[in-house]
């Protein structure tokens, strides 16, 4: 199908907000990217259409030969998806965003767009489990070399660069141990070696951190998490320069990794409250972390908001929202007289009454999971050890309930060990 839809952005009538007027981030979150139809609707509509009609045969031909830009097919472009892309790009301070069917769809798109056989992908050792699976099982199969480094060790990153390294990939904060990568330092290593730095910004979101401003080339999102924030739909996105997004867009529309218009609409509305929700998530998380840190049955809390965390100062410098370290944390439960570490962790999980036992995260509802037997179960024991996933580790995604209730729910299991 036509190549010209790649330039649709240039024709977009951003009716609701003139971005050249230098609006604040919260104004952008509420209003950017809206495309009003002639109906005069106030809220963003959902365009549930797979295809589009032309005025004539000549008009149709012009859409294909590059003479005219416009929608052709929703695998390529859709106005609801475009609204979400425009709003997210503005929030991340990127030139353009490309939406995908899921977060993994965005990571797969990144690989297919920027890597080929013989290239090397250098990744942080702490990543979302499926990202590791994608790299190890599928990119390796395509002849792409993959290796991992300690995400917190800048020298290790620099030393691991090879002549064929094309992408450096990290999450910050990371999953499941909420480690912080020094994005500015990594971007310097990447720039010096002509490597793309790709940052999965799922845990921080642009409400806390804008990696492109810190020197990253591409931002990845699982919109499934905080961008929706209420656990309803799957989606993902890439954000970056026009040139890099052009390559990603070509992969998405050819490979069919496109976002559904309904999901795009949910995410668009989610962005409006993102900062307010993230402030509340982070406020709760700080209280929960303090409780866990003081509990005798907890050996370690992985959360950069704690003042003795090695990346505390870095998180403060890198996150532009004050006192905000994200709301996802890992904590390690000690073995008790009659339970080993895994049994003790399961005891804590099984004694909750309110918190949801689910592997999803970034939800208004607090969620709890045991990574070693769920999200990271498919990894080899060596890969699990490399990712720091121990048997006593619990991952908690702190939601928007009352902090006291979240703490009480965790205390029930911890106090009875």
Ligand X SMILES: *Cc1c(COP(=O)(O)O)cnc(C)c1O
Which residue's CB is nearer to ligand X, number 388 or number 413?
Answer: 388
What's the alpha-carbon Rg for the chain, to the nearest Å? 22
> Measured between alpha carbons, how far is 117 from 138 in angstroms, rounded to an integer?
12
Closest distance between ligand X and the C-beta of residue 181, in Å? 12
Should residue 171 be labelled a site residue for ligand X when binding is judged by CB under 6 A? Answer: yes
Which residue's CB is nearer to ligand X, number 225 or number 295?
Answer: 225
Should residue 126 be labelled a site residue for ligand X when binding is judged by CB under 6 A? Answer: no
Residue whose C-alpha is closest to residue 387's, from 159, 157, 150, 222: 150
Which residue's CB is nearer to ligand X, number 6 or number 214?
Answer: 214
Q: Which residue's CB comes closest to ligand X?
A: 103
Cα 359 from chain centroid (whole Å): 15
Which residue's CB is nearer to ligand X, number 17 or number 248?
Answer: 248
Closest distance between ligand X and the C-beta of residue 103, in Å? 2
CB burial of 262-274 (b: ≥16 within 10 Å; e: otherwise) equals ebbbbbbbbbebb
Candidates 67-75, 102-110, 149-157, 246-254 — which segment interacts with ligand X by CB under 6 A? 102-110
Should residue 363 be labelled a site residue for ligand X when binding is judged by CB under 6 A? Answer: no
Q: Which of 128, 152, 291, 303 touches ligand X by CB under 6 A? A: 128
Should residue 264 be labelled a site residue for ligand X when binding is judged by CB under 6 A? Answer: no
Which residue's CB is nearer to ligand X, number 239 or number 344?
Answer: 239
Crossing angle for the helix pair 261-272 and 274-294, to the nearest 10 degrees: 70
Should residue 102 be labelled a site residue for ligand X when binding is judged by CB under 6 A? Answer: yes
Q: What backbone torsions phi and psi does residue 198 show, to the nearest 5 degrees?
A: -115, 125
Closest distance between ligand X and the C-beta of residue 55, in Å? 38
Which residue's CB is nearer to ligand X, number 174 or number 324?
Answer: 174
Q: What backbone torsions phi and psi does residue 168 show, to the nearest 5 degrees?
A: -105, 135
- The token duo for 329 is 């944390």
Which residue's CB is nearer to ligand X, number 103 or number 392?
Answer: 103
Sort 40 into a burial class: Cβ within 10 Å, 0-12 / 13-18 / 19+.
Answer: exposed
Closest distance between ligand X and the C-beta of residue 265, in Å? 17
Which residue's CB is nearer to ligand X, number 222 or number 369?
Answer: 222
Q: Which of 77, 78, 175, 366 touches ligand X by CB under 6 A? A: 175
Residue whose C-alpha is closest to residue 245's, from 409, 100, 352, 60: 100
Written as one string, the DSSP assignment of 306-320 is STTSTTHHHHHHH-S
Closest distance between ligand X and the C-beta of residue 147, in Å? 19
Residue whose C-alpha is closest to residue 109's, from 32, 230, 264, 218: 218
Should residue 375 be labelled a site residue for ligand X when binding is judged by CB under 6 A? Answer: no
Cα 81 from chain centroid (whole Å): 17
Per-residue contact string for residues 198-237; x = within reach of ligand X by CB under 6 A: --x-xx------------------x-xx--------x-x-
CA-based torsion, 397, 277, 280, 316: positive or negative: positive
Should residue 104 be labelled a site residue for ligand X when binding is judged by CB under 6 A? Answer: yes
> Measured between alpha carbons, how far is 84 from 77 in angstroms, rounded to an integer?
12
Interface residues toward ligand X, by CB under 6 A: 102-104, 128, 130-131, 171, 175, 200, 202-203, 222, 224-225, 234, 236
């Amino acid at each position: 199908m036509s190549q010209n839809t790649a330039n649709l952005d240039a024709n977009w009538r951003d009716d609701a907000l003139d971005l050249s007027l230098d609006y604040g981030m919260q104004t952008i979150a509420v209003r950017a990217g809206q495309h009003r139809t002639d109906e005069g609707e106030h809220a963003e509509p959902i365009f549930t259409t797979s295809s589009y009609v032309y005025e004539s045969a000549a008009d149709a031909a012009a859409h294909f030969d590059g003479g005219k830009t416009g929608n052709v097919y929703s695998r390529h472009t859709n106005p609801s998806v475009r609204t979400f892309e425009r709003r997210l790009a503005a929030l991340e301070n990127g030139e353009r965003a490309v939406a995908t069917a899921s977060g993994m769809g965005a990571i797969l798109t990144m690989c297919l767009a920027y890597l080929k056989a013989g290239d090397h992908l250098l990744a942080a050792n702490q990543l979302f489990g499926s990202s590791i699976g994608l790299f190890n099982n599928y990119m390796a199969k395509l002849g792409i070399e993959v290796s991992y480094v300690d995400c917190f060790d800048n020298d290790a990153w620099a030393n691991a660069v090879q002549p064929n390294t094309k992408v450096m990939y990290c999450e910050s904060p990371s999953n499941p141990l909420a480690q912080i990568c020094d994005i500015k330092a990594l971007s310097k290593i990447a720039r010096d070696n002509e490597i793309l730095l790709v940052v999965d910004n799922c845990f921080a979101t642009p409400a806390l951190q804008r990696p492109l401003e810190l020197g990253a080339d591409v931002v990845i999102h699982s919109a499934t998490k905080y961008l929706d924030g209420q656990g309803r739909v799957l989606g993902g996105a890439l954000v970056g320069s026009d040139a890099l997004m052009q390559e990603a867009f070509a992969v998405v529309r050819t490979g069919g990794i496109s976002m559904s218009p309904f999901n795009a609409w949910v995410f668009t509305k989610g962005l409006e409250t993102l900062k307010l929700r993230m402030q509340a998530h982070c406020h709760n998380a700080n209280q929960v972390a303090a409780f866990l840190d003081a509990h005798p049955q907890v050996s370690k809390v992985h959360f950069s908001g704690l003042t003795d965390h090695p990346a505390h100062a870095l998180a403060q410098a890198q996150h532009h929202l004050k006192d905000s370290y994200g709301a996802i944390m890992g904590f390690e439960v000690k073995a008790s007289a009659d339970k080993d570490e895994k049994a003790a962790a399961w005891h804590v999980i099984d004694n909750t009454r309110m918190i949801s036992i689910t592997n999803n995260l970034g939800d208004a509802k607090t969620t709890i999971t045991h990574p070693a037997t769920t999200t990271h179960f498919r990894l080899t024991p060596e890969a699990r050890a490399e990712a720091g996933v121990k048997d006593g580790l619990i991952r908690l995604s702190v939601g928007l309930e009352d902090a006291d209730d979240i703490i009480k729910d965790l205390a029930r299991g911890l106090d009875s060990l």
